[in-house]
């Protein structure tokens, strides 16, 4: 089994955090110690005197052991915009994130790292999420929101991951639109058109049921 996985998405708000928590609980059910990381988060709120992100707090809560927030989310930005804009006064440094990741990797069997936005979301003036994934050297799991347009988004993102030279370990379908017509056919089309295994399908839920979601994934 790999030491960890890097979670990316076909866009923002596609269900990366739900997939991340589902994977964390899945690995815990396999008897593994698990921690998570959200290296960069925008749209944070001031809590207990520091900026914190709702998704990062959920990742912290689901770890196998207590981890300081600053290790899970080293870059927490207030504005809900692209990280290279939100962090203009404190830009992301990949070497700093690599150090934090190595600390987490020493604490648990598995580290699940959730990226920000999509594969080419810029982190600073020169580097994007794709560069962070390469620096951390983790296999990538692509999260696809099953909605209108998802086939194109999935194929483009998967192609970009392959062109980046990293290993795509598979993809997870997250059903985000309860009114989508032919959802199963969309998933099947992506499965046929993407050269990576389907690791799970998270059915539509108005609110997260992470134990149920964890039962839907298999690596």
55 marked among binding-site residues: yes
17 marked ligand binding residue: yes
Beta partners for 173?
A: 144, 201
Q: How far apart are CA 186 and CA 180, in angstroms?
A: 10
One CATH from 3.40.50.150, 3.40.50.300, 3.30.70.3460, 3.40.190.10 for 4-214: 3.40.50.300
Question: 38, 105, 162, 191: which one is catalytic?
Answer: 38
Query: Is 15 annotated to bind ligand?
Result: no
Is 28 among the catalytic positions? no
Q: Report in angstroms the alpha-carbon separations of 134 from 8, 13, 131, 138, 154.
A: 12, 23, 5, 7, 20
pLDDT in tens, the chain (219 residues): 569 999 999 999 999 999 999 999 999 999 999 999 999 999 999 998 999 999 999 999 999 999 999 999 999 999 999 999 999 999 999 999 999 999 999 999 999 999 999 999 999 999 999 999 999 999 999 999 999 999 999 999 999 999 999 999 999 999 999 999 999 999 999 999 999 999 999 999 999 999 999 999 999
Nearest alpha-carbon partner for 169 in 116, 127, 217, 117: 217
């Amino acid at each position: 089994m790999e030491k960890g996985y890097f979670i990316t998405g076909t866009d923002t708000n596609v269900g990366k955090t739900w997939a991340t928590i589902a994977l964390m609980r899945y690995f815990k059910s396999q008897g593994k110690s698990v921690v998570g990381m959200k290296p960069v988060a925008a749209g944070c709120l001031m809590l207990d005197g520091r900026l914190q992100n709702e998704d990062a707090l959920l990742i912290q809560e689901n770890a196998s052991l207590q981890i300081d927030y600053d290790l899970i989310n080293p870059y927490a930005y207030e504005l809900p915009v692209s990280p290279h804009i939100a962090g203009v006064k404190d830009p992301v440094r990949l070497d700093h994130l690599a150090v934090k990741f190595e600390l987490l990797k020493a604490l648990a069997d598995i580290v699940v790292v959730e990226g920000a936005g999509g594969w080419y979301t810029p982190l600073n003036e020169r580097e994007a999420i794709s560069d962070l994934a390469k620096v951390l050297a983790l296999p990538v799991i692509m999260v696809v929101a099953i909605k209108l347009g998802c086939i194109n988004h999935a194929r483009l993102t998967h192609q970009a991951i392959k062109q980046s030279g990293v290993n795509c370990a598979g993809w997870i379908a997250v059903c985000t639109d309860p009114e989508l017509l032919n959802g199963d056919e969309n998933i099947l089309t992506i499965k046929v058109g993407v050269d990576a295994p389907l690791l799970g399908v998270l059915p539509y839920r108005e609110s997260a049921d992470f134990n149920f979601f964890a039962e839907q994934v298999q690596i």
